[in-house]
């Protein structure tokens, strides 16, 4: 299931980027006899049941001893993995064997692959193991950034339910997970996002920066014996109970065994240094539904306290809120590197003017808007339209407001698609008798 979700994540990203994927010549062997259908030492047989040739080809490429796919570009998606273990997989099926030429066909889409995984999950009654495999796959970019080698447990499949072999697992959580795959990819694709979520589990509201050591000492006392004894199951339960919204990610980390990330827990509590940058990110706090920093907590009421002072934590928040007002505010554009708030208070007379203006305000509130994917492609996508619809639409839209050209965007109106650069300005005495005209190119397009 892990390998299947890795394929889905990689393929979905390539689909978003309009990049192709092709089968390589690497395929897992077929179990050609009943004797080969059982596990034998390091040889593991995966029974996929009665499947169509394209599905069988996908399973053989998925379980191949070397990468079963190739991309036109050298760079791999962030979830791509290389198997370096001793196990060899065979694929058992009652379907007809494949011929060589079928490697020329296109690999299945991410949606098709999910249907294959759904049938497989239903056939072997895997249940929630699919969600666990997805969570493990989502942590792979973070493991890669931390130079951590992951260990995958030997797969154990239940007895196949033959009557479900060709029926999608409609009751499987897998299909529901796929509906949210783009959101999961956003969180997972950047290791800094996952790092922010994982390590914020040890941050706690109300603990000032000067009280972090005693706070962490209590956590170390509980967790260090579990890490030393490799009681990873109990370690996962403890972390999950403390921060349920992050439970799936920590369980996924721990299912890979004693990785670099697990070994880093106690050192992080002692130094606040993680294997990868762990700066609190406000967007990730919103996505996971859990604050990662004092900057994510806005409080209530005016900033000015009854004793005529303002807490230093609120000053930090206001400086971040107002960073664009003055050039001197650029250092406050980003939030602090750690989530622990500064202690103490500040007298309003000591504040810079732009911050001082807001001390009697009701609490400023940040509202999440959206996240937009922007892909930086290493190759150009050539596109030549066979119509001038966009030219006409742009020309008409901007010509409508050509008498109110804003100075900062005047270059838009002088574009050949608009041709409004000669339009009289608003206070021109000839405005009432001078009618601006569309560019010749646009007029011809409209008339056509």
Question: What is the per-residue pLDDT across 43-60, written as a single tens digit (0 to 9) for each?
Answer: 888 888 888 888 989 999
CA atoms within 13 A on the CB side of 151: 9
What pLDDT band is residue 40 in, cutting at 50, 70 and 90? low
The pair phi, psi for residue 94, each rounded to 5°, is: -100, 5
- What's residue 228's pLDDT? 95
Q: Strands (DSSP E) along 329-396, which ranges? A: 345-346
Helix (H, G, I), strand (E, B) or coil at 89: strand
Strands 43-49 and 88-93: parallel
Spatial contact of 76 and 11, defined as CB atoms under 8 Å apart: no
- What's residue 445's pLDDT? 42
What pLDDT band is residue 337 in, cutting at 50, 70 and 90? confident
What pLDDT band is residue 113 in, cutting at 50, 70 and 90? very high
Lowest mean pLDDT among 74-88, 99-113, 135-149, 160-174: 160-174
- What's residue 346's pLDDT? 85
**Mean pLDDT value across residues 292-310:** 86
Spatial contact of 28 and 91, defined as CB atoms under 8 Å apart: yes
What pLDDT band is residue 223 in, cutting at 50, 70 and 90? very high
Mean pLDDT of the chain: 79
17/182 Cα distance (integer angstroms): 13
Q: Is the pLDDT of residue 348 over 70?
A: yes
**Mean pLDDT value across residues 239-248:** 93
- What's residue 137's pLDDT? 95
DSSP state letter for 218: H
**Residues in Cβ contact with 231 at an 8 Å cutoff, skipping those fewer than 6 apart:** 225
The pair phi, psi for residue 48, each rounded to 5°, is: -100, -5
**Mean pLDDT value across residues 259-278:** 93
Q: How many residues does the chain have?
A: 448
Q: Containing H/E element for 424?
A: none
DSSP state letter for 252: H
Long-range (24+ apart) CB contacts under 8 A made by 265-271 are 265/223, 265/227, 266/220, 266/223, 266/224, 266/227, 268/199, 268/202, 269/202, 269/216, 269/219, 269/220, 269/223, 270/216, 270/220
- What's residue 413's pLDDT? 57
- Residue whose pair of structure tokens reads 């951590």 in the numeric block: 148
Strands 88-93 and 29-30: parallel
Cα dihedral angle (124, 125, 128, 132), rounded to 10 degrees?
-10
Q: Is the pLDDT of residue 380 over 50?
A: no
- What's residue 388's pLDDT? 55
- What's residue 251's pLDDT? 95
What pLDDT band is residue 394 in, cutting at 50, 70 and 90? low
**Mean pLDDT value across residues 128-152:** 91
Q: Is the pLDDT of residue 387 over 70?
A: no
Choice between 410 and 367, residue whose per-residue pLDDT is larger: 367
């Amino acid at each position: 299931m892990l390998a299947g979700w890795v394929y889905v994540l990689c393929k979905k990203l390539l689909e978003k980027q309009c990049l192709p994927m092709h089968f390589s010549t690497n395929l897992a062997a077929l179990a050609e006899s009943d004797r080969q259908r059982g596990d034998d030492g390091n040889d593991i047989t995966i029974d996929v049941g009665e499947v169509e040739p394209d599905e069988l080809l996908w399973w053989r490429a998925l379980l191949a001893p070397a990468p079963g796919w190739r991309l036109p570009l050298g760079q791999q998606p962030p979830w791509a993995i290389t198997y370096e273990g001793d196990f060899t997989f065979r694929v058992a099926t009652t379907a007809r064997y494949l011929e060589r030429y079928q490697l020329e066909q296109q690999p299945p889409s991410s949606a098709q692959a999910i249907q294959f995984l759904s049938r497989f999950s239903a056939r072997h009654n895997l249940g929630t193991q699919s969600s666990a495999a997805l969570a493990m796959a989502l942590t792979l970019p973070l493991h890669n950034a931390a130079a951590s080698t992951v260990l995958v447990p030997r797969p154990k499949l239940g007895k196949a339910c033959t009557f479900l072999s060709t029926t999608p697992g409609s009751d499987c959580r897998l299909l529901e997970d796929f509906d949210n795959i783009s959101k999961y990819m956003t969180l997972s694709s950047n290791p800094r996002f996952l790092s922010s979520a994982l390590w914020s589990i040890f941050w706690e509201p109300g603990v000032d920066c000067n009280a972090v050591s005693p706070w962490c000492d209590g956590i170390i006392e509980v967790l260090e014996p579990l890490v030393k004894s490799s009681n990873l199951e109990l370690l996962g339960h403890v972390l999950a109970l403390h921060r349920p919204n992050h439970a799936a990610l920590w369980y996924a980390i721990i299912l890979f065994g004693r990785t670099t990330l697990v070994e880093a827990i106690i050192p992080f509590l002692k130094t606040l240094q993680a294997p990868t940058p762990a700066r609190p990110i406000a967007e990730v706090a919103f996505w996971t539904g859990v604050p990662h920093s004092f900057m994510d907590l806005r409080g209530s009421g005016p900033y000015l306290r009854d004793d005529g002072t303002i807490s230093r934590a609120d000053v930090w928040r206001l400086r971040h809120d107002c960073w664009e007002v003055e050039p001197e505010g650029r250092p406050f554009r980003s939030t602090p590197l750690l989530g622990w708030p500064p202690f103490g208070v500040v007298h309003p007379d000591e504040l810079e003017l732009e911050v001082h203006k807001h001390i009697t305000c009701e609490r400023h509130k940040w509202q999440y808007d959206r996240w937009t994917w922007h892909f930086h492609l290493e190759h150009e996508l050539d596109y030549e339209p066979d119509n001038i619809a966009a030219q006409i639409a742009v020309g008409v839209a901007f010509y409508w407001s050509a008498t109110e050209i804003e100075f900062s965007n005047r270059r838009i109106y002088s574009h050949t698609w608009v041709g409004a650069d000669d339009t009289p300005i608003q206070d021109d005495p000839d405005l009432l008798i001078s009618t601006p005209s569309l560019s010749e190119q646009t007029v011809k397009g409209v008339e056509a």
